[in-house]
Amino acid sequence: MEIAGRIFGIDRIPAVKGQGIPAHAARSMKGWGVTYATSPQGADHTAGSVIPEPLSPSGQVERSRASQIINTAFDVLGLCHLTFLFKNPEMIMPMINAFYGVKLTLADFMEIGKEMLRQERAFNIKAGIGPGADRLPDWMRTEPLPPTNAVFDVPQEEIDNFFNF
């Protein structure tokens, strides 16, 4: 999508890091917008869903961070986040421990997600996809989306601190 847009001279392209933005509107679902901006793979709706207070910019970075850490830990362990157990990962710890023959704590589980996100981030930086790519298209910050006329107004300074964990 991004390359085709450039070839045709279109500058209003709904993409982050080359990945097209899914149907979850980032302007009216601001937590999803944070996920799209910060996910190492770009605008990926499976990287970390954020549902609470969709129109408020407050707390969305923290919500997205927590969701991405949990979803990444699920991915590492070969589990599907669509089980919706990501809402209460402590419920799945006994199953993970029994299946793998380990004794992971919830803190261990969360650290698995954090470490994988760190590794994905490091890979991106080495590939030339630096922190400057952690942004939604500028027009999403200025062009209102009907019927709420929401714009993506989560402060970029907060988004820039996403990986401080």
User: Along the chain (165 residues), what's the average pLDDT of each consecutive run of 10 residues?
Assistant: 88 92 90 97 90 95 96 88 71 88 94 98 97 96 96 98 96
Residue pLDDT, tens place only, 10-34: 989 999 999 999 887 899 999 999 9
Q: Rounded to two decimals, what is the model's pTM?
A: 0.93
Q: How far is CA 35 from CA 6, 25, 90, 135, in A?
A: 24, 12, 22, 10
| C-alpha span between 97 and 100 (Å, rounded) | 5
Instruction: Please give the pLDDT value at position 2.
Output: 85
| C-alpha span between 147 and 160 (Å, rounded) | 29
Copy the structure tokens of residue 109.
Answer: 């589980």
Helices 30-38 and 60-76 pack at an angle, to 10 degrees, of 50
Instruction: Please give the pLDDT value at position 86.
Output: 60
Domains and CATH numbers, the chain: 2-160 (1.10.599.10)
Instruction: Please give the pLDDT value at position 83.
Output: 66
Instruction: Please give the pLDDT value at position 45.
Output: 86
Cα radius of gyration rounded to whole Å, the chain? 17
* Tokens 């402060």, residue located: 155
Other Cβ atoms closer than 10 A to 132: 7
Q: Do 30 and 60 meet the contact criterion of CB atoms below 8 Å apart?
A: yes
Instruction: Please give the pLDDT value at position 85.
Output: 63
